[in-house]
Amino acid sequence: MSEAAHTHTAPGAASATMLSVRDLNAWYGESHVLHGVTFDVPPGKVISIVGRNGAGKTTTLRAIVGLLKKRTGSIVVEGTETIGLKPRQITRLGIGYVPEERGIFSSLSVRENFTLPRVVRPPIMDRDEIFTLFPNLAHRLNAPGTKLSGGEQQMLAMARILRTGAPLLLLDEPTEGLAPVIIEQIGETIRRLRDKGFTIVLVEQNIPFAWSLTDTFHVIEQGRVVDSIATGHGQTDAIGRLKSYLGV
Amino acid sequence: MDLFDLPLPILFGQLMLGLLNGSFYAMLSLGLAVIFGLLNIVNFAHGAQYMLGAFLTWMLLTYLGIGFWGALIIVPIVAGLTGMVIERVLIAPLADADHLYGLLLTFGIALVIQGGFQVAYGAAGIPYRIPEALAGGQRFGAIFLPNYRLFVLVVSLTVCIGLWLAIEKTNLGAYLRAATENPELVSVFGINVPLLVSVTYGLGAALAGFAGVLAAPIYSVNPTMGVELLIIVFAVVVVGGMGSIAGAVVTALVLGLIEALTKIVYPEAASIVIFVIMIIVLMVRPTGIFGRTA
């Protein structure tokens, strides 16, 4: 497989799946938290995983990157089975992960946070492009990571994985706790990334935010996917359906 | 007694001794703080690794005819590699268990090493000569500074500052700091955290061994030399703040000085002053002077 072949996949152009999760079961210690999660992520698409608190959204992302020790089932990343791999081996296959709470290291400067994740592919966006996307970060490189505002931390968390060249981005609630104007910026950023050909798995509670970005919603309840809803034409009742799942 | 009534040479001599002890505290507490930060274990084997360093220095000379300078290079390497093996074989399997197990394990390792050396070499101290090139001293008026002690001071501070810079300014240091905060996320970012942990533990052990080499010509080489020092070093780390590297070094030097000055003013209190300070710090600021509040 040539590396160039999948770094610039146009949205919807390729038929193979970027990420395929089959019958994923996972445990936190003794407690069984995922009960057969199954979904596919086609290249260049934005998939949103929604569900109530504790339904298993964050856990699904954590299981994909290997942070749950006990997992069964199948997680295939561009043709490579990852269920038996360690986190560092999994993300090297081309996954960029933005955790819940953003995971900015407080003892590292913005620059160090930015350069920490290892580069896994030739970059899709170079440094200048990344800082054009997140202009706030460019002149705060020497600041400690935690001196940034919540929005800036979210941008840094995204910027540092864009630097790795990973074509598949897992974003865990990127809008959580942010002001509406910042949420708008994050939405605009995700839209641009989608247009660039990135494949994105979004965990979101904010349906109105996710709606315009998402190609397909997967609803998770009690550790399994209970419904999948494609956006687009003729789906006028879809928002209502999603909201009823979330109880909002 | 008033400090300033003392003859200058005595005051100066004590300050020098305080800095010297402080520099040993610094080397050991630096390693201890880094290991605690990353592995979350209180490394009770640290004193044994220091003692091992001093004994290896003596053994290299006695059995192989390799002198101080050779030991200064060989011993840290041996200590570091031994440390990495200990981490991989004994400590790593306990990584997911309660941190108390790590503490008990390293305490056990310390007892085994110390006991073994006691059986083999007895409890009495073995002298080790100051290297030829560093014999003698410098005289400044009434003040006499032994060359070897100056050398130890300069070398240990250089090593501490060098390590601090390496941790604060290099990529490897950034990995170390990041893994200290959130090892899971660092592993997701493609970094081999278990290897980083082994290397860090090995570096801590190497630094303890290095301190042991430097200590051999000053303190007598004996199996319990590590225990005595380690108790003080624990207090230093607690005062400075667990996991704070610069804090550990600065605290070590300051406490070394305070200890030495107490020896002049009220000698009876010299052996407990550090622990009194530790208790006060724990009451007023439990995270230590330089510790980060969680």
- Residue B190 sits in a domain of what CATH number? 1.10.3470
Tell me how crowded residue A109 is: count the other CB atoms within 10 A of its CB.
18
In a domain, B7, yes or no: no
Contacts of A88 in chain B (CB under 8 A): 187-193
Contacts of B184 in chain A (CB under 8 A): 67, 87
* Cβ atoms B188, A91 nearer than 8 A: yes
Whether residues A118 and B193 touch (CB distance < 8 A) is answered with no
In a domain, B6, yes or no: no
Angle ∠(B127,B131,B134) on CA atoms, nearest 5: 125
Enclosing domain of residue B145: 12-284
* Cβ atoms A211, A219 nearer than 8 A: no
| Structural domains for chain A | 15-246 (3.40.50.300)
Whether residues B188 and A86 touch (CB distance < 8 A) is answered with no
Minimal C-alpha gap between B281 and chain A (Å) = 23
Whether residues A107 and B171 touch (CB distance < 8 A) is answered with no
In a domain, B230, yes or no: yes
Please state the domain count of chain B.
Answer: 1
DSSP per-residue codes, B183-211: HHHHHHTT--HHHHHHHHHHHHHHHHHHH
Contacts of B182 in chain A (CB under 8 A): 103, 105
Residue-by-residue pLDDT tens, chain A, 248 positions: 444 444 444 444 444 789 999 999 999 988 999 999 999 999 999 999 999 888 999 999 999 999 998 999 999 999 899 999 999 999 999 999 999 989 999 889 999 999 999 999 998 888 888 998 898 888 889 898 888 888 899 999 999 999 999 999 999 999 988 999 999 999 999 999 999 999 999 999 888 888 889 999 999 999 999 888 888 766 667 778 888 888 76
What is the radius of gyration, based on Cα positions, of chain B? 19
Closest chain B residue to A117, measured at CA: B189
Contacts of B181 in chain A (CB under 8 A): 105-107
Whether residues B185 and A65 touch (CB distance < 8 A) is answered with no
Whether residues A88 and B182 touch (CB distance < 8 A) is answered with no
CA distance A231 to B7: 87
In a domain, B3, yes or no: no
DSSP-assigned beta bridge partners for residue A35: A25
- Is B181 touching A (CB cutoff 8 A)? yes
In a domain, B76, yes or no: yes
Place of tokens 């009823």: A244
In a domain, B294, yes or no: no
Which of B182, B192, B292 is facing A88, going by the closest CB pair?
A: B192
In a domain, B39, yes or no: yes
Place of tokens 């494949």: A199
**pLDDT tens profile B42-88:** 889 999 999 999 999 999 998 998 889 999 999 999 999 999 999 99
Minimal C-alpha gap between B292 and chain A (Å) = 10
Residue-by-residue pLDDT tens, chain B, 294 positions: 566 677 777 788 888 889 999 999 999 999 888 888 888 888 899 999 999 999 999 999 989 988 899 999 999 999 999 999 999 999 889 888 888 888 899 999 999 999 999 898 888 888 888 888 888 888 877 778 888 989 999 999 999 999 999 998 998 999 999 998 899 999 999 999 999 999 999 999 999 999 999 999 998 889 988 888 898 898 888 888 776 778 888 899 999 999 998 988 888 888 889 999 999 988 988 888 887 654
The counts of H helices and E strands in chain B are: 11, 2
* Cβ atoms B34, B176 nearer than 8 A: yes
- Is A121 touching B (CB cutoff 8 A)? no
Closest chain B residue to A110, measured at CA: B174
Place of tokens 């699904």: A60
- Is A87 touching B (CB cutoff 8 A)? yes
Closest chain A residue to B179, measured at CA: A105
Whether residues A91 and B185 touch (CB distance < 8 A) is answered with no
Which of A107, A115, A118 is facing B190, going by the closest CB pair?
A: A118
- Is B290 touching A (CB cutoff 8 A)? no
Element (H or E) spanning B252, and its range? helix B245-265
In a domain, B88, yes or no: yes
Which of B174, B192, B292 is facing A116, going by the closest CB pair?
A: B174
